[in-house]
Amino acid sequence: MRPSRGAFTALACLILTSFGFGGNEVPAVLLYRTPPHAPLEAAGTGLAPQVTVRLHIDARGKPSTVEIVRISPSSAYDFAFSREVRDALSTWRAAPQLRDGVAIPSVIEWTIEFSAIERESEEGWRKVRGPSSLGPPRDRQDRWIEHLARISQEERQRLRQVARLSGERLLTTEGRQQALSDHFEVITDGPTERTAEVVAGNLEGTYGAAYRIFAGKIPPEIAAERVLVFLFRSEGSFRSFASSRQVSLENAAGFYDSLGLLAFHLEMGASEILRGVLLHEGVHAFLNQHVVRPGVRLPLWLDEGLATYVENSEVRDGQIVLGSLKSRIVYHNPVAPIRARSLPRVTADEVKKAFRKGRAIPLNQLLAARGEEFYGEKARLFYTQAWMFVHFLRHGRSGWAESEFPKFVLYVAEGFAPGDVFRSVYGGTPEGLSKEFGDYIAKF
């Protein structure tokens, strides 16, 4: 069920007597009102506060100041409710107050009661990608990314602090440890003393591989803020944390939130699965933190395809060999170093078999898939074909890995229409390369 964000009740409309209107004065009258929406980050918290505001209106009938008088009950989300109220009320318009027929500034006090909104259960916060001819239409995740792009750094830090407190409460006291690296802050209650250190190292290795994808076209740099990583010993704690972040998990063992937040759990049955999840979600973090322009989203097939491309690359002597395939499965302790090979969750054989039997997803359907389709009954095939199409766009012809592919991704990451970028970079449409893509898969 999608939450309704328009519900609010005006409890006290105009408290005019407080301002002593006389016989020669005509009070201001509101002409245009847009309702403030409950903030997305408060969805699922059950919060439904009353916000009392003092709206200062100038002689032209426009709001000059939106003063938050009080919020009841107060919570960690006061700043978010205040932001939504200010954004909405700043667009209100009024017939100004008149004194002896002359327009003058005035003040109106107004109390708004928000209705609690439920968390969205149909799709996770990271489950649909943004608008374009090669991607699905706008949805809640796009709004969340746009929201993060426009809020102040102070508000962003408050949101991160709320997430940090939520995660910390779910860690067991014994064994809590923390590790800092160039790009990550890892917090865990893992079973060994080096858990946090090893996880940070594996994620840094993922970033190193991701940088190589762009063939030196983006400089290695330290982000303004480290990605906050929670690795929970128990799956139950992880799922509780995901629920607090509005993430619909299904079978997921990890997730990335565009706020700069990664979360995983250790109860996966094999370290290879954990390592694969670390690589996959680490790529999402890299793209969001270092590649994609604020407020822009990569198309779903490209975002998931790139993450699966790195996840399914073989690891040799501690280095991820981009484009290679994992050749075997080796079982290790849950926090073994990255030099051990990990378990591929999808394989090229699945795509080859689907093409041979005519069950492959048409390329135009893959590139336009919405989240509910991509993550639905055929999710495994969507993942594998997205991965293979990324592999083709990078290795299909000589020179693509160093020139065409990084150029394509970087232009899309700047917000240019993927269809236009594809024609400019690859000299045609994706459909025009369908046969070549099929031949590439058959020989893979």
Tell whether 70 and 154 lie within a shared domain: no
Tokens of 75: 């919570």
Query: Can you give the pLDDT at residue 69?
Result: 93
**Structural domain boundaries enclosing 204:** 140-442
Q: Is 240 inside a domain boundary? A: yes
Residue 132 located in a structural domain: no
Q: Is residue 238 part of a domain?
A: yes
- CA-to-CA distance for 79 and 155, rounded, in angstroms? 7
- Report the largest interatomic distance among the alpha carbons of the chain, rounded to a whole angstrom: 89
Mean pLDDT of the chain, nearest integer: 78
164 and 108, same domain (yes or no): no
Looking at the fold, whether 357 and 241 belong to one and the same domain comes out as: yes
Question: Is a pLDDT exceeding 80 seen at residue 225?
Answer: yes
Mean pLDDT of 327-336: 35
Cα-Cα-Cα-Cα dihedral of 270, 227, 128, 117, to 10°? 110
Other beta carbons less than 10 A from residue 42's beta carbon: 24
pLDDT at 190 over 60: yes
Residue 225 lies in a domain: yes
Q: Identify whether residues 85 and 233 lie together within a single domain.
A: no
Q: Which of 79, 114, 149 is the last residue of a domain?
A: 114
Work out the average pLDDT over 386-411.
94
For 333-353, how does the pLDDT look when each residue is reduced to its tens digit (9 = 90+)?
333 333 333 334 556 777 788
pLDDT of residue 180: 94
- The percent of residues in the chain predicted with pLDDT above 70, rounded, is 80
Same-domain pairing of 172 and 71: no
Q: What is the pLDDT of residues 274-290, one digit of tens each?
A: 788 888 899 999 998 89
Task: Identify the three-state secondary structure at position 265.
Answer: strand
Structure confidence by residue, pLDDT tens digits, 78-124: 888 888 898 888 888 888 888 887 889 999 888 888 887 665 433 32
pTM: 0.67
Same domain for 145 and 103, yes or no, is: no
Q: Is residue 374 part of a domain?
A: yes
**Which among 251, 245, 257, 316 is positioned nearest to 281, based on CA atoms?**
257
**What mean pLDDT is predicted for residues 129-156?**
58
pLDDT of residue 397: 95
Query: Into how many domains does the chain fold?
Result: 2
Distances (CA, A) of 107 to 36, 62, 93, 94: 19, 11, 13, 11
Higher pLDDT, 32 or 135: 32
**In this prediction, what percent of the chain has a pLDDT beyond 90?**
25
pLDDT tens digits for range 428-438:
899 899 889 98
Q: What is the pLDDT of residue 8?
A: 36
In the numeric block, the tokens 């946090």 are attached to 196
Report the CATH number that the domain containing residue 100 is assigned in CATH.
3.30.2420.10
pLDDT at 219 over 60: yes
Of the listed ranges 49-58, 194-203, 264-273, the least confidently predicted one is 264-273
Give Cα separations from 318 to 97, 315, 334, 366 (angstroms). Answer: 72, 6, 16, 33
Q: What is the CATH number of the domain that holds 185?
A: 3.40.30.160
Given a cut of 50, is residue 134 above it in pLDDT? Answer: no
Q: Quick check: is 268 in a domain?
A: yes
Last residue of a domain, one of 114, 131, 159: 114
What value, to the nearest 5°, has the Cα angle with vertex 226 and ends 416 and 280? 60
Domain check: are 392 and 266 in the same one?
yes
Separation of alpha carbons 252 and 255, rounded Å: 7
- Res. 18: pLDDT tops 50: no
When pLDDT is cut at 50, 70 and 90, the band that residue 246 belongs to is low
Q: Does residue 317 surpass a pLDDT of 70?
A: yes
**How long is the chain?**
444
Q: Is residue 43 part of a domain?
A: yes
User: What's the confidence (pLDDT) of residue 103?
Assistant: 87
C-alpha span between 230 and 36 (Å, rounded):
33
Measure the CA–CA gap between 105 and 64, rounded to whole angstroms.
9
355 and 243 in a common domain: yes
Q: What pairs with residue 319 in β-bridges?
A: 316
Residues 154 and 75 in one domain: no
Among the residue ranges 5-9, 203-207, 279-283, the one predicted with the least confidence is 5-9
DSSP H helical segments within 104-218, as ranges?
140-150, 153-169, 195-213
Q: How confident is the model at residue 247 (pLDDT cuts 50, 70, 90)?
A: low
Is the pLDDT reported for residue 3 higher than 60? no
Per-residue model confidence (pLDDT) at position 137: 36
**Averaged over 229-251, what is the pLDDT?**
80
**Per-residue pLDDT tens over the stretch 266-278:** 887 656 677 888 8
* Rounded-to-integer distance, Cα 279 and Cα 117, Å: 34
**pLDDT on residue 1:** 33
pLDDT at position 287 is 93
Asked if the structure places residue 184 within a domain, the reply is yes
Shared domain for 110 and 144, answered yes or no, is: no
- The confidence score (pLDDT) of residue 23 equals 54
354 and 388 within one domain? yes
Same domain, 215 and 347: yes
